[in-house]
Amino acid sequence: MMTFIFVGPTLPADEIARTQGFVFLPPVAQGDLYRAARLRPRAIGVIDGFFSGAPSVWHKEILWAISQGIPVFGSASMGALRAAELHAFGMRGVGRIFEAFRDGALEDDDEVAVVHGPAELDYVGASEAMVNIRATLARAEVEGVVSPASRRALDAFAKSLFFPQRSWEALLAGAAAQGVAESEQAALRDWLPRGRVDQKRLDALEMLAAMGEAPNQSEHAGPKFNFEWTVFWDEFVQRSDAVSEKAGSSLQQRILDELRLEGPEAYARVEAMALLRMVAASGAARPVTALPREDLQATLTDLRTRLGLFARADLDRWVARHDLDAVSLERLLADETSVKNLRDRSRGALEPFLLDELRLGGAYERLAERARKKSDALGAFEASPNNGFPQSHAIALRLWFFERCLRRPLPDDVEESARRLGFANAASLDSALQRERLFLEILQRAEKA
């Protein structure tokens, strides 16, 4: 069974890549956890979530998941906040940060809030969480790096800063004004690279370990409350379901994704005939202008990479075996470059011709049936703009697709390989791989049920 983890800046890319047995999703926003729970996972873990820019995960959707018998864990950041608020109802908090909020030692959301980059940059953090600053300064005091008075002064100064402005650079820059001696400032600056405590990361890893052990525990106890179906919940469910339907409405796009996932050879065969159909329909003519020499060279480099002709001797033997000379090789490269240019120019306009070729070639119904089954199974995840995997997990998905599904090495240029598969870019490929992997896991779960 699947276990979903909502995570973003708290765990670095390499931590996620090394972790097995979980499906990692981006920071949770309102509706995401409800849609995840509809897939009936073994458990759901919340680490990161949105505080601004998108509505935060609603307490009621967490309670609904728990009422359905799905264990929900929380830790480190948004997860720690919600777990502290809902632990009496059965949400399972893990880690020191959760305990501090649960026991009232911490109360403010800004203790865990940070600013971070987008998914494409692995949600790289751009500020330091107050809980990490507190833990680090406490350790610095224990190790004699700063005095108790300086630790308290720096704590208070960090807390006074707006959370996006919190960083060790800002803290050290303002230390003198807080009465911290220059010797302590220098000692802290030298100590930080090895002494900094990332309490959010430690708590998140503790939660993953706890969730990994959950299957060996006794049967989960039932919910400690009766879930009330209110008019507000009814409106929320209708909105969430409507978003799912809208996101999954483009069946033809899904059909083409199914074709693309069958590999570059399958897609190239259909694409070639679709290009022919498009040219026949539009009367597109071959450009009469000479192609730039650098374009021809790029085509030759691509050809050698595809055919494994890395040494000049290998290329010469291939040219000889295929009855080519310098003139005919250049013509072949010019034609291949023209086809590539036509493909690039026509990418958006080609889709109707691709679908027509699938209809006439007999593959349309098969791909449409699989696309419908996948959309039905993944309806819970077709909603949010935040439903892409972190970049670190995208790398794992790419390895799985190229090496295990297509049985070939992960290409050096994933962007170009994505375009050869008919995707707009690598991000579109990643999105399709996310859906495919989730769908296969759902099928496996159904077979075992």
Q: Residue 370: which of 432, 417, 431, 426 has the closest Cα?
A: 432
Give mean pLDDT in consecutive 10-residue pieces for the chain, a chain of 449 residues: 86 75 86 85 92 84 92 95 95 96 92 76 76 95 94 94 91 92 93 94 94 61 75 77 54 90 93 83 54 86 85 91 90 84 68 88 92 80 49 79 93 89 88 89 76
Global pTM?
0.60
Per-residue pLDDT, 118:
66
Q: What is the pLDDT of residue 117?
A: 64
pLDDT for 401: 94
Residue 380 is predicted with a pLDDT of: 52
